[in-house]
Amino acid sequence: MPRGKVRAWGPSVAVDASPVGARVSGCTVEFVPTRDTTSIVRVLEARAAEAVARARRFGRPVLASVTVPLEGEVDVAAATFASRRADERWFVWEQPDRDGFAIGALGAAVTVDAVPGRNRFAQAAQMCSDVFRDAVRGEDIDAPATGPIWVGGFSFYADGCSAPEWSSFTATGLALPHLSIARSGSATHATLNVMCREGDDPRRLAARAAGRLGALSTDPLPLVDPDPAGGYEIASVRPPEDFERAVDEGARLVRAGAVEKLVLAREVRVSAARPFNPGAVFGALRAAYPSCYCFCAGTPEAAFIGASPELLVRRAGSVLSTVALAGSTRRSADPAVDDHLGERLLHSGKDREEHAIVVDTIERSLAPLSVWVTPAEEPALVKVANIQHLATPVRAQLAQPRSVVDLVGALHPTSAVGGEPWAKAEPLVRELEQMDRGWYAAPVGWMDSFEDGEFCVALRCGLLAGRVAHCFAGGGVVGESQPDAELAETEVKLMALLPALTGS
């Protein structure tokens, strides 16, 4: 079978085995709500045996999984960073202000990372769905991201990740982990996944998987060293004047009617004497931006990390949510000045024009898929530690079932990070930026077995590769845009990440 090709597998069937009090081969297995590996092995072995039988019957691998509750307070991100292996993928997603919601994922039982071309989202959605068909798993638990899930992201461009620093990432990079942990409120669950093939030994598969859970580390996240030997060197990849010239040309193209809007970004590199520690950087971002989508997608060679304020899409059954986020200004420690800056942003003609374009493109993208699409009547201010944005929540009801990955494909890229219309804007953005965005400004998130989930737009982010951090920031360009103001906006946005890298 060619790499990246997965056939439809038929209807999904679950054995009579639930996470607690699971019934296996006529006897009841009592799960203790902790990492009781003996009980876990017995249930997972039974499910793996059934999956092996189905794999033999269908001639293809079949997923077996088990979900168990974990005792006590679990720092999901810390456990993931401390337990990751040097040779595997890993993923962390957390929004602390949202009832402590967090996901951690270790390893990859299955990957979807070889889908080429512009139809990659639909192909990836189908491939993910195919893996869940015929899966052998227990009863569903009513908690977000519990059970087998897909985690990861996509490149901004369909042909992205061509630059050397992005070599360990792919244009489509989703993984079903060996082990995932999900926390919501006071409840934490772990899910073990094994892909079973004809001839596999169910006992060995189950024991190996359960051993991974038993080996989870509880070490806390490390801290960023504020005064490392050798210090840091920060440099713009292209001269700032080049970015200003690109903005000036972009604004001219908008005034000439070539496009309605362009979004242009720049890259700044931070070099250190020692390799960056992704766990320390994540901890700093989580503490500074508890309302944001704090994420880290890691490979053996690099880690893509950030704290994004922008939701691309969240699906819960037939209802989807997204947010139009465009138009920004700085914060101030003086409450009166901060309020004044926010009011000025709310009444800025340039920013309101840029924002309205984003709301309109989201509505037009969702209209063909929905019974109704409802944006808020007026934008509101969203304030994070160092910046405030114009934001308009948008909700819609789907006309037909579509997975969250399908919806990602319908919305990406919004004009908040690309341009309008995108077909005309794309070649202009590529020419003016002259860089490979990789996963910057692209979708990052997760999807569960119901095809619900959420993806953010990867902003306020950077790629950590050894001793070098590649940091990205951009801004929307319309006819009234001023090059110096747009450059200053990118500096404000870069300051969301730079302190987390340097401890300053």
Complete DSSP assignment for 273-337? SS---HHHHHHHHHHH-TTSEEEEEE-SS-EEEEEE--EEEEEETTEEEEEEEEEEEE--SSHHH
Angle CA(361)–CA(144)–CA(438) in degrees, nearest 5? Answer: 45
Domain-embedded: residue 224: no
Same domain? For 49 and 128 the reply is yes
SS3 128: helix
What's phi and psi for 479, nearest 5 deg?
-60, -30
Residue carrying structure tokens 């892909």: 195
Domain-embedded: residue 221: no
Same domain? For 189 and 291 the reply is no
Domain-embedded: residue 397: yes
Q: Which amino acid is at 248?
A: D
Same domain? For 26 and 158 the reply is yes
What's phi and psi for 493, nearest 5 deg?
-65, -35
Looking at residue 36, its pLDDT comes to: 60
Pairing between strand 101-106 and 419-420?
unpaired
Same domain? For 210 and 236 the reply is no
Question: What's CA 434's distance to the chain center, in Å?
Answer: 25
Instruction: Give me 34's structure tokens.
Output: 């902790």
Domain-embedded: residue 13: no
- Tally of domains within the chain: 2
Contact residues for 5 (Cβ-Cβ < 8 A; gap 6+): none
CA distance 297 to 280: 14
Q: What's the Cα-to-Cα distance from 300 to each of 85, 237, 444, 466, rounded to whole Å?
A: 8, 25, 18, 11
Please give the residue range of the domain that contains residue 492: 232-502
Residue 33, burial from CB neighbour count under 10 angstroms (0-12, 13-18, 19+)? middle
Looking at residue 504, its pLDDT comes to: 64
Q: Which entry of 45, 165, 260, 261 is annotated as an active-site residue?
A: 261
Query: Which of 186, 214, 242 represents a domain boundary (last residue)?
Result: 214
Domain-embedded: residue 380: yes
Q: Is 454 marked active-site? A: no
In a structure prediction context, what are the per-residue pLDDT tens digits for the chain, which is 504 residues long? 333 332 222 222 233 333 333 322 222 233 334 446 788 899 999 999 999 999 999 999 999 999 999 988 899 999 999 999 999 999 999 998 988 899 999 999 999 986 767 789 999 999 999 999 999 998 778 888 999 999 999 999 999 999 999 999 999 999 999 999 999 988 999 999 999 999 999 999 999 999 999 889 989 999 888 777 778 999 999 999 999 999 999 999 999 999 999 999 999 999 999 999 999 999 999 999 999 999 999 999 999 999 999 999 999 999 999 999 988 888 998 999 999 999 999 999 988 998 999 999 999 999 999 999 999 999 999 888 888 999 999 999 999 999 999 999 999 999 999 999 999 999 999 999 999 999 999 999 999 999 999 999 999 999 999 999 999 999 999 999 999 999 999 999 999 899 999 876
SS3 432: helix
Same domain? For 168 and 277 the reply is no
Same domain? For 371 and 437 the reply is yes
Q: Which entry of 45, 50, 94, 310 is annotated as an active-site residue?
A: 310
Q: Which of 178, 56, 163 is nearest to 110 (CA)?
A: 178
CA distance 274 to 295: 22
Instruction: Give me 483's structure tokens.
Output: 């090059």
CATH of the domain at 280: 3.60.120.10
Domain-embedded: residue 225: no
Number of C-beta neighbours around residue 430 at 10 A: 13
Sign of CA dihedral 196, 47, 447, 98: negative
Looking at residue 114, its pLDDT comes to: 64
- Contact at 8 Å (CB) between 31 and 190? no
Same domain? For 111 and 249 the reply is no
Same domain? For 96 and 171 the reply is yes
Domain-embedded: residue 366: yes
What's phi and psi for 38, nearest 5 deg?
-65, -50
- Contact at 8 Å (CB) between 196 and 52? yes
Q: Which of 138, 196, 199, 179 is nearest to 13 (CA)?
A: 138
Instruction: Give me 176's structure tokens.
Output: 């079903």
Q: Is 363 marked active-site? A: no
Same domain? For 444 and 305 the reply is yes
CA distance 308 to 437: 16
Same domain? For 210 and 303 the reply is no
Residue carrying structure tokens 């840029």: 354
Q: In which element (H, E) is residue 54 found?
A: helix 37-58
CA-atom Rg of the chain in angstroms: 23
Q: Which of 158, 57, 71, 74 is nearest to 115 (CA)?
A: 158
Domain-embedded: residue 5: no
Query: Which of 185, 214, 243 represents a domain boundary (last residue)?
Result: 214
In angstroms, how far is the first alpha carbon of the chain from the final one?
51
Same domain? For 265 and 203 the reply is no
Same domain? For 272 and 156 the reply is no
CA distance 41 to 29: 10
Residue 158, burial from CB neighbour count under 10 angstroms (0-12, 13-18, 19+)? middle
